[in-house]
Chains A and B, each alone.
Chain A
Amino acid sequence: MLRFALRRALLALAVGLAVSAIAFLLLRVSGDLAAAIAGEDAPAAEVERIRAQFGLDRPLLVQYAEWLGRALLGDLGRSLFYPQSVSALILDRLPNTALLATLGLLLALLISIPLGVAAAIGRNTWVDRLALGLAVLGQAMPNFWFALLLIIVFGLMLQWAPISGSEGFASFILPAVALGWFSAPVLMRLTRAGMVEVLSADYIRTAHAKGLPVRTVLFKHALRNAIVPVVALASVQFGNMLSGSVVIETVFALQGIGYLAWESISRRDFPVVQGILLVVALFYVVLTMVADLLNAWLDPRIRRAA
């Protein structure tokens, strides 16, 4: 297990490096940054001055090395729009997105796993159909529309929760519901599919032959095997949530990473975009590694296969 973890960590490091290069390059190929910073009607001399000032006239490799070196020290450059540094901006917004994503994921798992298990046990009964109905409902509604529904019903009519802003825990409830609700269906269907397959496995019959209670058979013997693909998918979804749902953050006026990214892209505030891109990509790298480790712990065969 230790060797597996070490190998996974090394792989994550390599992917992280590759990702940083891509984050750096993507923005450079999107157009002339100096011209973008200078503004539309800037004279050519002004563009050239800015190119020199930001060091954009140097070879790409040099620029990348410099940027990476600073990034490793936590310096992602300065925003072209905000007075703060990029790191300060990201650190300012990240807790909001992290709290929202964590709540969203927890909610999604709390809905999807019990429902998926129940649907698998009661396959082709009303429980299964109810779960399928909820899944379709979750997937078919665009999330901005569902978010608006939540605002209207729970925010305006019932006044149970605040509908906008990022002050206090309560203002995260509705956005988290909107976020979790949207990713629950896939997790639920995957849990159900996994459980249906595992429940017909020979080792489940063995567990019954031992006289174990149904609870033990379901959760100790079946779920542990069925959950492996769910863990992998949940980590990707958590990554999506952490990278900030622009839509949800916009609808609820939550000052998160997604909102910041959207703002910065429209302003061509490229140091911020680059910084967010890097941070988010690193989240994915770390999450994938965590999911791999979790799965290797769940299913010992994975430890050896890698």
Chain B
Amino acid sequence: MRQALLDVRRLSVRIPVEAGTLHAVRDASLAIGRGETLCVVGESGCGKSLTSLAIMGLLPPGAVRSAELLSFDGEDLLRAPRSRMRALRGNRMAMIFQEPMTSLNPAWTIGEQLAEPFLHHGKGDRRQARDRAVELLERVGITAAASRLVQYPHELSGGLRQRVMIAMALMCGPELLLADEPTTALDVTIQAEILRLLARLQREMGLALLLVTHDLGVVAAVATRVAVMYAGEVVEEGPAEAVFGAPRHPYTQGLLRCIPIPGETPRGQPLGTIPGSVPSLVGGFESCAFRDRCPHARAACAEPVAERMDAAGHRWRCILEPSG
């Protein structure tokens, strides 16, 4: 099997809360090869953002990360000291966030914030940093790039700020880019532009992209692989065409019925919904987390569910036999 650039096995994130421990991410396994796009989908609170933060080592204070394996380009990140993580972050692995309005520091110019990772990671001097910043701003579609460098974040719109965030993440030429719902906070018209931009940059720069989103339309267009998360678990993961073409997990099937497909879904036909709500993740449990909402639930679902995998590398957590 090829060596994945990022290999995550059985990642768990626990957050102590008043009522006990919140098992926010449970045994999540993911892998991304160089130049691949992995989309992580799932509803709010399913642990997809925490998964990406855990990979970067940026979990909020109090949250505890554990895993069987967390390796980046063959390097064990679980045992990497903080200084090593800092040397990788912003350099070989970069991240952009959900909230472009608040993710840039209001007190420093765009130019200063763009130059920062470049200078800190020793990629060159201030003049080179400036040139690189202008080049990347142009590349992410910002006009009058040179004049933007002296502007402050509050002088830019949300869409522009997210473009700046993307340019900032690319300053050191990372191999892996984690994008945590990069368009959720933006206007719908801007969302598509930003996603197209990410997809183009991913292709052009050969990035490995981990894109966290709940926009399945986007996923279908850009993903090499798809991971579906539910209640802190990766319930299904595999090549995009397999997950979309032959979804194995009832949750994925339900999720796909919730989105209209242009040209296929007849006008006026009601979209699907998934009844019920996500179980509490405080305390943790052994059974299938989707059991209470699943149309196929049976007694055996109360037992721990083993992960199954087919020859194409399509994995899922369900006891149902695949039916066509």
Contact = CB atoms under 8 A, between A and B. Distances in A.
A203 B102 contact: yes
Interface in B63-112: 85-91, 94-95, 97, 99, 102-108
A92 interface: no
Contacts of A202: 97, 99, 102-103
Interface residues of A, number: 22
A209 B106 contact: no
A213 B105 contact: no
Interface in A249-306: 298-301, 304
B244 interface: no
Contact of B87 (A205, A211, A216, A225): A211
A207 B104 CA distance: 9
Q: Which residue among A210, A221, A298 has the maximum number of chain B CB atoms within 10 Å of its CB? A: A210
A212 B94 CA distance: 12
A221 B105 CA distance: 7
A224 interface: yes
Given A202-B97, A203-B103, A301-B106, A211 B117 contact: yes
A210 B152 CA distance: 19
Contacts of A224: 107-108
Interface string B33-61: 00000000000000000000000101000
B116 interface: yes
B89 A211 contact: yes
A91 interface: no
B90 A209 contact: yes
B139 interface: no
Contacts of A207: 105, 116
A288 to B, nearest CB: 21
A52 interface: no
A18 interface: no
B95 A209 contact: yes
B120 A212 contact: yes
Interface string A51-91: 00000000000000000000000000000000000000000
B99 to A, nearest CB: 5
A299 B97 contact: no
A159 interface: no
A203 B153 CA distance: 11
Interface in A197-224: 201-203, 205-213, 216, 220-221, 224
A208 B87 CA distance: 11
A72 B115 CA distance: 50
Nearest to A208: B58
B121 interface: yes
B90 A225 contact: no
A208 B58 CA distance: 7
Contacts of B120: 210-213, 216
B154 interface: yes
Give the one of B85, B106, B121 with max A CB within 10 A.
B106
Contacts of B88: 211
A298 B107 CA distance: 6
A221 B91 CA distance: 19
Nearest to A212: B120
Contacts of A209: 56, 58, 89-90, 94-95, 97, 169
B56 A203 contact: no
Interface of B: 56, 58, 85-91, 94-95, 97, 99, 102-108, 116-117, 120-121, 152, 154, 165, 168-169
25 contacts: A202-B97, A202-B99, A203-B103, A203-B105, A203-B106, A205-B58, A205-B103, A206-B97, A206-B103, A206-B165, A209-B58, A209-B95, A209-B97, A210-B116, A210-B117, A210-B120, A211-B85, A211-B91, A211-B121, A212-B90, A213-B120, A221-B108, A224-B107, A299-B107, A300-B106
Given A208-B58, A301-B154, 16 more contacts: A202-B97, A203-B102, A203-B104, A206-B97, A207-B116, A209-B58, A209-B90, A209-B95, A210-B116, A211-B117, A213-B86, A220-B108, A225-B105, A225-B107, A301-B106, A301-B152
